Structure 1
């Protein structure tokens, strides 16, 4: 297959992009994060919350999005990119693929940098500090899921985690750039990220086909049943920072717990978000494994 990175030296964000600078456009009615993606703001228990605190909640929600990105890119994706780049992934890959993995590594470090950079700019301009929370909740869930379902395959788990995340993230990123209600710098940075991640999606989809084709047949069934759980873990929003943010805005503990429980108790179907990821697995033959189709359906991924 052709490399997704044939023009990387000319078009990659880390090579040709510009630093996105924050400008406060709230007087023009723009928001820091799409309101529909901050669902707890519409909860009836928060109806009387001052506008200043609703603004702070939205800003901290953006921080959670940006800082979670820094953790996932550096702790999940770059862990695997390094394994592939240094020929330690258990596959005999050509040097061209290894260099592509180094390009992913460079991209992801840059994504982490500019995510923190924009958060820091916003904190300085608005006075809403970046809380010192653990933003790696999704990383922890992915690792725990892998250990639980594939306890005897520690070398395989990070490869699967990365394939899942990198084939999912583009779908997660496409909403914000097209939303004119969002502050320009946030839209532009997310668009920059999505552009790079489109190439990463192709790379890791190709990598997964290679990985699956070379996978020991005794592992195919457990891997096929692990993948939907990894997808679900990756799509689960970490509610602890949400609860903590509500407390910071003066919401009492009982109300914060109620709001979080009401809003995040029902996740619903993720079929739309993960369509490209499932398509990758189906084309590789994962869903042909006995029970795999049922496992994906049970996680509402079909």
Structure 2
């Protein structure tokens, strides 16, 4: 990637960024869902469907609040921090001026996404009359980056942050795309996701390009150290512990009998995606590692061998 690519990135931002091109979206008062059923297994569980389906709206609205809260944490506390450090040339990895300008457009986009998310949270509370429960103060990435940084020398901590943010930005793009296409969901919410996707697709390419630039200059020793870090990062990033804890909190707030509550708890505790090559997000992450050039490095391919297709080919 060259400085010319970053000039075109800035032009694309002026013409395409949602803060430049989208009107405010208003939540409809219709029969559509505010959150996809398939993304909240609790409401599809046998115990829930049999004993308390009347609580479906409450659970979906609370899950939407958590989703919004996760977006705000991700964009204002993590991506914004990294992009702003790069833009202001305070990152330990130096990048050209064109990259730093592009990083500042990411800062603007992410803060705008957080603003829109908070607007939707307020609109939802006004429309439904359902106030949000206590929302988590952290997301998986909040824990995954520091955990991975603890396993590398101090001079590589910013590299871990860069790679971790890039993995997350490439993952969230696919996640948001699936959300935006769900016809069961309110049009304004789908529009919100589509707007987000329009920016995140550009961000995913931006972060991939930065990681590729960095990797081309990293020493063999640093590459090896970062390769060993990757599985540690994924174990923390792909955990479902925070979602499970939130679902258990939801169950505690349902007006149901103790026996039904316990049955729902058992069902929630049984929901998990083992962090193997079959995990639904692994293919997206492996795609990013290929596009950024990491997976073509033997030490990375070896460290990530448990997540590669059975053929084992990194290409």
Question: Normalized against structure 1, the TM-score is what?
Answer: 0.89
Give the drift of 1:57: 0.6
Q: Which stretch of the first structure deviates more once superposed, 246-255 or 211-220?
A: 246-255
Tell me the equivalent position of 1:117.
Answer: 119
One of 53, 56, 66 as aligned partner of 1:51 = 53
Identify if the C-alpha distance between structure 1 residues 163 and 122 changes in structure 2 by more than 3 Å, giving closer, same or farther: same
Q: 1:129-144 maps to which residues of 2 (within 5 A)?
A: 129-144=131-146
Q: 1:17-96 maps to which residues of 2 (within 5 A)?
A: 17-26=22-31, 30-96=32-98
Q: Is the 8 A contact 1:268 1:300 kept in 2?
A: no
Q: Which stretch of the first structure deviates more once superposed, 267-276 or 200-209?
A: 267-276
Q: Write the deviation string for residues 87-142 of structure 1: whole angstroms up to 9, x where unpaired.
A: 12233322221111000000000111111211121111101111222242313322
Tell me the equivalent position of 2:313.
Answer: none
Q: Is the 8 A contact 1:43 1:259 kept in 2?
A: yes
CA distance in 1, matches of 2:132, 2:308: 34
**Partner SS for 1:264:** coil
CA distance in 1, matches of 2:153, 2:94: 24
Give the drift of 1:270: 5.3
Tell me the equivalent position of 2:217.
Answer: 214
Give the drift of 1:40: 1.9
Tell me the equivalent position of 2:226.
Answer: 223
Q: Which stretch of the first structure deviates more once superposed, 137-146 or 32-41?
A: 137-146
Identify if the C-alpha distance between structure 1 residues 18 and 172 changes in structure 2 by more than 3 Å, giving closer, same or farther: same
Say whether residues 1:5 and 2:10 are aligned partners: yes
CA distance in 2, matches of 1:242, 1:149: 31
CA distance in 2, matches of 1:301, 1:145: 26
Q: Write the deviation string for residues 53-100 of structure 1: whole angstroms up to 9, x where unpaired.
A: 111111111111111011011111011101110112233322221111
Tell me the equivalent position of 1:243.
Answer: 248
Say whether residues 1:292 and 2:297 are aligned partners: no
Q: Is the 8 A contact 1:80 1:159 kept in 2?
A: yes
CA distance in 2, matches of 1:300, 1:127: 47
Q: Which stretch of the first structure deviates more once superposed, 267-276 or 132-141?
A: 267-276
Q: Is the 8 A contact 1:142 1:234 kept in 2?
A: yes
Tell me the equivalent position of 2:169.
Answer: 166
- The gaps in structure 1 that reach 5 residues or longer are none
Question: Normalized against structure 2, the TM-score is what?
Answer: 0.85
Q: Is the 8 A contact 2:25 2:192 kept in 1?
A: yes
Give the drift of 1:274: 4.3
Number of corresponding residues: 299
CA distance in 2, matches of 1:232, 1:97: 30
**Partner SS for 2:158:** coil
Q: Is the 8 A contact 1:270 1:300 kept in 2?
A: no
Q: Which stretch of the first structure deviates more once superposed, 30-39 or 154-163?
A: 154-163
- The gaps in structure 2 that reach 5 residues or longer are 311-315
Tell me the equivalent position of 2:178.
Answer: 175
Identify if the C-alpha distance between structure 1 residues 265 and 196 changes in structure 2 by more than 3 Å, giving closer, same or farther: closer
